[in-house]
Structure 1
Amino acid sequence: MPSDFTAPGLKRRRNRDGTIRLIWVARADLVLRGYVPKTVRLHYSIDDPGDRRLIEAACSRLQAEMLAWACGSQNDLRSHDGSIASLVRLYQTDPASPYRDLKWNTRRTYDQVLRTIEKAFGMRSLAALGIRDLRRWYDEAKKPKQAGGQERIRKAHGIVSMMRRLLGYGVMAELPECGRLARILDEARFKQPGRRKAKLELHHVEAFIKAAVAAGRPSLALGTALQFETTMRQRDVIGEWRKDAPNGGGIVLRGRYWTGGLTWSHISDDLLMVKETTKTGADVGHDLKLTPLVIKLLCQIPADRRVGPVIVDEIAGRPYAEHAYAREWRIIARAAGVPDRIWNMDARAGGISEADEAGADLDAIRSAAGHSQSSTTLRYVRGTIGKSQKVARMRTAHRNKR
């Protein structure tokens, strides 16, 4: 490596296939103070003399932005160089940005999209952009992964939506060109992904429970039964691992605290369950004695094991690690004959749809699901004719009266 090569913050990481990837890494002490991004992937080759100058430039820019933030200059928007990458960085680091008010898991999702944007066209100047560029990016992003595959409209629309957020922030921060581009996107229309139509139905759940118990995974059986019978979100049943758990926690895994999941303290001796939902903070209550799938599984759990989290990974002896629940669930689902197009999250839609099919009042379903608005509940009603049957019967009764 030439002696004049200067790339502050540059680190090398080895991929599984033995190749080397380059990453700029922020100072650990500043990350602890809240600086983001923590890392930035650099898509260059250190063996290419031409790429070395680009690596130096990228690392120097990222290092300068980090040090400016550390010196209290994060409010100085004059550091904006007019590029999309610079806009992304300001959106993530400016204390006045709406990004700072997002929940941790929403930030994580946003960061994934922001990395895609920065990698694909971060060096583009805002002044040089127009609708043709935005349309071309959308069209490229929606192309199938493989020839003949499905278009990735959800991914493409997510990029456009994130560009709207970035430009909206830029307008608030009075950054050049953001107002012009925001007005363009206000008028532009891009095809949106369709709503999910899949749902986990009763016969799926029954087959899954049987397969899970046979495989020695009663935790997966109980978790799925709870999601389907109570229409609770997966997160409210199995919990999640957070670095910034509000009250800390007694269960820690790689620096993250387990929080938000269902514990035995939420369930009374007479099997009444009351829990605050993680998304809206609404309290939901269920009489588990009226949930046949759940009660059958609960009866198999000895009293001395009814302490702490309800759903515990049998192998690890603690709540499921991030992504492990979904991964293990899919293994059992395939063994039970549940199609891959149906996900664990579709248990909530399945339970709500079954309630609609049974003719339950919409507001009662809304309350049971912990939704604040009935319009949200309606989005989970998939492929049922419960309400239309009720309307038809009422119309017939009305005609007979006449």
Structure 2
Amino acid sequence: MSIKRTKREVRKPAKPRGLPRERLAKAIVQIFRIILGHGCELGLADCLKLAEMIDGMEFRKENEERQLGKAKKAPKVVMTYAQAEAIVLKGIEMGTRRSRSVALAVAAQFEFTISQIDAIGYWMPARAVEVTDDMILRGGKVWRPGLRFEDFETGILDLSRLKTGHAAQFDVMEYPLFQLVLAAVPEDQRT
């Protein structure tokens, strides 16, 4: 009888795609050690011999067992230029203020490699900032806007990334997708 093999077999999930039975396998090994220890106290030769053999033995998980029952991480999906361009072109084609805003945010996220929160903004607790009359308030939270037209009206966008705090500077004229959307937004709607 192999203790490691027994533990390995007991650990296997009871059902297909089920979780490994870690607690049961560990309990069986513990019970085996208790019984073996009792046999050693009684002076049984075979128990003493077996106890000597497994003394200090570790029941580590093997590589394939470590993955047993764990959900695999979904592969990270990265937007391609063609996908970003398709969203931008559709937003321009639809022609509404909202669709152009989505197109502008996607172009900014893709070309400036900024997060969505940096592009469109986020809600934060109102107590964390000094609230002014021009701020949007709802449910004890204040809206902190992302990119605004005045942020890049000089042609240069200076921003500090929310998650990392790293400062970044972009010459918006160097980004064709962003320029394409920007050109589709009428001057009187750039507020």
TM range (shorter): 0.5 to 0.7
Residue correspondence of structure 1 range 259-338 to structure 2 within 5 A: 259=144, 261-269=146-154, 271-307=155-191
Inter-CA distance 306–211: structure 2 relative to 1 (3 Å threshold): closer
Task: Report the Cα distance in structure 2 between the residues aligned to 1:233 and 1:245, rounded to whole angstroms.
Answer: 24
Identical counterparts, % of pairs:
27
SS at 2:77 equivalent: coil
SS at 1:299 equivalent: helix
Query: What per-residue deviation string (whole Å, max 9, x for no partner) do you get for residues 315-361 of structure 1?
Result: xxxxxxxxxxxxxxxxxxxxxxxxxxxxxxxxxxxxxxxxxxxxxxx
Kindly state the Cα deviation for residue 235 of structure 1 after the two structures are TM-superposed.
Answer: 0.5
Indicate conservation of the 8 Å contact 2:88/2:181, yes or no. no
Task: Report the Cα distance in structure 1 between the residues aligned to 2:76 and 2:14, rounded to whole angstroms.
Answer: 24
Task: Report the Cα distance in structure 1 between the residues aligned to 2:78 and 2:127, rounded to whole angstroms.
Answer: 31
Kindly state the Cα deviation for residue 227 of structure 1 after the two structures are TM-superposed.
Answer: 0.8
Residue correspondence of structure 1 range 1-400 to structure 2 within 5 A: 189=66, 191=70, 193-194=72-73, 196-215=75-94, 216=96, 217-244=99-126, 246-249=128-131, 250-259=135-144, 261-269=146-154, 271-307=155-191
Query: What per-residue deviation string (whole Å, max 9, x for no partner) do you get for residues 341-393 of structure 1?
Result: xxxxxxxxxxxxxxxxxxxxxxxxxxxxxxxxxxxxxxxxxxxxxxxxxxxxx
Which amino acid in structure 2 is aligned with residue 223 of structure 1? A
Task: Report the Cα distance in structure 2 between the residues aligned to 1:245 and 1:221, rounded to whole angstroms.
Answer: 32
Kindly state the Cα deviation for residue 201 of structure 1 after the two structures are TM-superposed.
Answer: 1.1
Indicate conservation of the 8 Å contact 2:158/2:168, yes or no. yes
For these two proteins, the number of residue pairs brought into alignment is 132
Indicate conservation of the 8 Å contact 1:245/1:259, yes or no. no
Which amino acid in structure 2 is aligned with residue 199 of structure 1? V
Query: What per-residue deviation string (whole Å, max 9, x for no partner) do you get for residues 19-46 of structure 1?
Result: xxxxxxxxxxxxxxxxxxxxxxxxxxxx
SS at 1:213 equivalent: helix
TM-score (norm 2): 0.55
Kindly state the Cα deviation for residue 202 of structure 1 after the two structures are TM-superposed.
Answer: 1.6
Which amino acid in structure 2 is aligned with residue 213 of structure 1? I
Which amino acid in structure 2 is aligned with residue 262 of structure 1? L
Task: Report the Cα distance in structure 1 between the residues aligned to 2:101 and 2:171, rounded to whole angstroms.
Answer: 20
SS at 2:159 equivalent: strand
Bigger Cα Rg? 2
Kindly state the Cα deviation for residue 206 of structure 1 after the two structures are TM-superposed.
Answer: 1.8
TM-score (norm 1): 0.28
Task: Report the Cα distance in structure 2 between the residues aligned to 1:228 and 1:193, rounded to whole angstroms.
Answer: 27
Which amino acid in structure 2 is aligned with residue 220 of structure 1? V
Kindly state the Cα deviation for residue 212 of structure 1 after the two structures are TM-superposed.
Answer: 2.2
Task: Report the Cα distance in structure 1 between the residues aligned to 2:116 and 2:160, rounded to whole angstroms.
Answer: 14
SS at 2:128 equivalent: coil
Inter-CA distance 236–212: structure 2 relative to 1 (3 Å threshold): same
Kindly state the Cα deviation for residue 299 of structure 1 after the two structures are TM-superposed.
Answer: 2.1
Structure 1 residue ranges (4+ consecutive) displaced by more than 4 angstroms after TM superposition:
none
Query: What per-residue deviation string (whole Å, max 9, x for no partner) do you get for residues 95-153 of structure 1?
Result: xxxxxxxxxxxxxxxxxxxxxxxxxxxxxxxxxxxxxxxx99x999x86xxxxxxxxxx
Segments of 5+ residues of structure 1 without an aligned counterpart are 1-134, 144-187, 308-402
Kindly state the Cα deviation for residue 245 of structure 1 after the two structures are TM-superposed.
Answer: 6.2
Segments of 5+ residues of structure 2 without an aligned counterpart are 1-10, 19-64
Indicate conservation of the 8 Å contact 1:248/1:257, yes or no. no
